[in-house]
Amino acid sequence: MLLLLAVLLAAPAAESAPSTRTLRPDDIFALKEVGDPEVSPEGKWVAYTVTTMDAKEDESDTDIYMAPFAGGPALRLTASKKAEKSPRWSPDGKWLAFLSGREGKKTQVWLMSREGGEAVKLTGFKASVSSLAWSPDSARLALIVSDVDPDDPDAEDDEEASADKEKKKDKTPRPIVVRRLQFKRDYEGYLRDVRSHVHVFDVVSKSSFAVTSGSYDDSDAAWSPDGKWIAFSSNRTKDPDASRNADIFVVEARAGATPRALASGPGEDQHPAFSPDGASIVYEAGGDPRDMWYGANHAAVIPVAGGAPRALTASLDRNVAHPRFSPDGRLVYFLLEDGGNRHLARVPSAGGTVERVVAGERDISDFTISAKGDVGLLVSEPQLPAEVFALGAANGLRRLSTVNDAFLKGIRLGTVERFKAKSADGTMIDGFLTRPPDAPAGARLPTVLRIHGGPVDQFSTAFELEWQMLAAGGFAVVAANPRGSSGYGTAFSRAIWADWGNKDFQDVMAAVDHVVAMGVADGDRLGVGGWSYGGILTDYVITKTGRFKAAVSGASEANYLSNYGTDHYQYEWETELGLPWRNVERWVKLSPWFAIENVTTPTLLMGGADDMNVPLLNSEQLYQALRRLGRETELVIYPGQNHGIRRPSYVQDRFQRYLDWYGRFLRPAASGPAT
């Protein structure tokens, strides 16, 4: 029996404006993505990024804006054709630093004066800078900089690269030689022993020195309040490729200093932040490595002088992100993932009860706190793409940015409802139903089950463009957080350990049955699909049931034996399933490939040609098998794309193919998408 618990998630007030039409795939060029809010030290401004897609150039671009914290029109700060990201205010409020590759092919630090004028290039490393943090005195930067790859033809000064451009055109690339256990990674390609380390850069003299070195990758650099120390996260075990361990280290901000391990638990410890008095560090403490990615992390505090860490949120059994101290050091703020939402929460730094500061049916993906305690947040709701909000003690939560308002005033969006369904064994599952904007009352609708990636992830109350795009095409969209999802505790997530396609299959099917029982979904016109693990679970679904009339399996895999060694998950595969030549039966049993003859559902397969996360060979094998069996299938390959499809024309193309494929099999031939 299914339990009905539907709660309508209200649209923001701005949606009361007159609407004219529903979404189309080419609307991706009008919608913008807001990110990375950063409140200025005195609390007067919030800097943030806005990413747009350019149809003519077929590229994406990211620029930096700032809005008054008190409210008012935003100002655009950058406008080059190259991305500008990671805006960071200097503690004295005089400068805004950011990262950009607007000159050359390497990302460098740029500096903009608060008094106005053009940004100036600050660094000139021969490799890219990936993150920056200001010292408390605003005189130095802690940077994460990659080592120079001797085989990288672009690892030269811009002047050298320009002078040698013609010569390099005829230069034969060197052979790729790999020696590492982890030998490839999506977007990075084949891995040599080229690592990322902490550097200190002097803003006035423009000189720098490395404070870490070795065959390790360092990240998350953070300054102590007195500017003498830098904390960072790193896996410095004997062979970093053999585990996902990461520890918290501190190192003096001088050349030749030796890092000292501070938090050295067996899990992934990351994102350290100093207390205002410099005596403690708060960080994300990883869960039990035996739980791998299924285990929840927690916020912990450890003395800088050394000693045992003290867990602050372990009893929550929920993932936290980016913990940091309040300006007075009495509280620790963090993001809390919980049951289809993400909230801003806090806990006394000495330990105590967790308080949700900003809760409700919303997804908070980022936050920032100024030296005065002003809080800026990035907030999304089911009908509101992420925007910047301010949180003040006097007037509560206020919206600051309105990046997508003008466009969305002319768009009719689908309503999103939450529900709970009872799975086959009685487990309660959270689900989301998006209804088409113009659905006739009481009509049974063609319905698409969409499955999230991960598997350890969650659908949330954030704006989901995919749901809205399909709803605009006339489809009801069902989404669920089956077992394996995060946000519901370690046991819920770990329930699918070495057992994919079983309990999570039952859970997503329960969500579909629920919407059929509601009288919304037409049980004879069902589709299914997803990307990454969403595609993997789709492969299980279509080998286990013929109920679905159309499937879209994106960046998926089915024959795990053939996949081993071709993706970048060697550690995860070996941890969960063991070595394939020692556990053949387990690997075969888990692979839906060996039930491929059960598939009757017309299946569209998609993937990026350069995907090293879930390599294309998986989709190629599925296509070959389905084609050989005479099933209805197509394979769409996006050239030059990795696991995430980023080229704007391909993003549009993928949405259009979703609509066309589902429309072909789920709607009568004479009908078309809603307009």
What is the distance between the alpha carbons of residues 317 and 192, in angstroms, rounded to a whole number? 37
- Alpha-carbon span 519 to 525, nearest angstrom: 13
Per-residue pLDDT tens digits for 315-346: 999 999 999 999 999 999 999 999 999 999 99
Q: Does the predicted model carry a pTM greater than 0.95? A: no
Mean per-residue pLDDT for 158-186?
71
Residue 124 has pLDDT above 90, yes or no: yes
Name the CATH superfamily, with its identifier, for domain 408-666: Alpha/Beta hydrolase fold, catalytic domain (3.40.50.1820)
Which pLDDT belongs to residue 16? 45
pLDDT digits (tens, 9 = 90+) for 416-472: 999 999 999 999 999 999 999 999 988 999 999 999 999 999 999 999 999 999 999
Least confident span in 67-81, 171-185, 262-276, 565-579: 171-185
Tokens of 132: 């920056």
313 contact partners, CB below 8 Å, separation of at least 6: 298, 299, 320, 334, 336, 347, 354
Position 7 pLDDT exceeds 50:
no
pLDDT at 6: 34
The backbone torsions φ and ψ at residue 252, rounded to the nearest 5 degrees and listed phi first, read -65, 145
Strand runs (DSSP E) across 484-585, as ranges? 521-531, 550-554
Task: Check if the beta carbon of residue 364 is closer than 8 Å to that of residue 383.
Answer: no
Helix (H) or strand (E) holding 544: helix 533-544
For the chain, state the CA radius of gyration.
25
Location of structure tokens 């505790």: 489
Sign of the C-alpha dihedral computed for residues 441, 442, 447 and 451 taken in this order = positive
Average pLDDT, the chain: 92
Report the first-to-last Cα separation within the chain, whole angstroms.
37
Residue with tokens 């429309």: 663
Tokens 């949330």 label which residue? 460
Give me the residue label for tokens 């090293």. 612
93 CB-near residues (< 8 Å, 6+ apart)? 40, 41, 42, 114
**Rounded mean pLDDT, 650-667:** 97
* Domains in the chain: boundaries: 408-666
Nearest to 346 by CA among 338, 356, 337: 356
- Output the pLDDT for position 583: 95
Residues whose CB falls within 8 Å of the CB of residue 451, separated by 6 or more in sequence, listed in order: 479, 480, 482, 508, 528, 529, 530, 533, 534, 535, 537, 538, 541
User: CA separation (Å) from 121 to 108, 145, 180?
Assistant: 7, 16, 35
261, 232 Cβ separation under 8 angstroms: no
Q: Quick one: tokens of 635? A: 């394979």
Which candidate, 674, 649, 645, 670, places its Cα nearest to that of 659? 674
3-state secondary structure of 93: coil
Reported confidence tier of residue 12, pLDDT bands at 50, 70, 90: very low
pLDDT given for residue 154 in this prediction? 61
Written as one letter, the residue type at 496 is I
Residues 333, 344 contacting (CB under 8 angstroms): yes
What is the distance between the alpha carbons of residues 659 and 654, in angstroms, rounded to a whole number? 9
Number of C-alpha atoms within 13 angstroms, CB side, residue 44? 4
| Cα 186 to Cα 555: distance, rounded to the nearest angstrom | 13
